[in-house]
Amino acid sequence: MLAHCKFCDFQIIADREFKTEEEAAEYATMHCDCGDAVQYRADKEREELREKNVRRIEGAIESVREFCQKRGVFFVENTTEILRSGAMCVLDEFIDAINIKISQIKIVIQKNPKGVLIFKKNYSETNQEEVV
């Protein structure tokens, strides 16, 4: 079966059958070397990685929640959404990092040098005594 690139109409002989013309065009585009197809593949890979990272963010937020609960600090209603929004801003490179302080727990969301999103959690307890 012949499939055509969505951008340059390059024809490729596909080694499989497709249910629709769109599936065939997608296959050809993913195997074409024209500039638009290369950009399309890069955008698609970036979007797939973003979707994976969104799922990982949910796991990281749950980890932060457990970390806080073990130390007697509980999330308020909007805490999860604040963490998710901050992580998405870092993931999408709108900001480099975000620092959030919840009671005695400091959370830093940033990318490491490899570009991997990380959540740093730090708990600090300070005792203060006033002497009159």
For the stretch 51-75, pLDDT in tens is 888 889 999 999 999 999 999 999 8
Shared domain for 118 and 60, answered yes or no, is yes
pLDDT (0 to 100) of residue 31: 93
Task: For residue 26, give its domain range.
Answer: 2-33
Both structure tokens of 25: 């065009």
Shared domain for 68 and 13, answered yes or no, is no
If DSSP states are collapsed to H, E and C, what string results for 72-123? CCCCCCCHHHHHHHHHHHHHCCCCCEEEEEECCEEEEEEECCCCCEEEEEEE
Distance CA(65)–CA(73), nearest Å, equals 9
Distance CA(8)–CA(74), nearest Å, equals 55
- Using a cut of 0.75, tell me whether the model's pTM lies above it: no
For the stretch 28-59, pLDDT in tens is 999 999 999 999 999 999 888 888 888 899 99
Shared domain for 62 and 115, answered yes or no, is yes
pLDDT (0 to 100) of residue 131: 86
Tell me whether residue 15 is in a domain. yes
Other beta carbons within 10 angstroms of residue 94's beta carbon come to 8
Distance CA(34)–CA(53), nearest Å, equals 29
Tell me whether residue 129 is in a domain. no
Other beta carbons within 10 angstroms of residue 31's beta carbon come to 14
Tell me whether residue 23 is in a domain. yes
Domain count for the chain, please give it. Answer: 2
pLDDT (0 to 100) of residue 84: 95
Shared domain for 84 and 27, answered yes or no, is no
Shared domain for 26 and 73, answered yes or no, is no
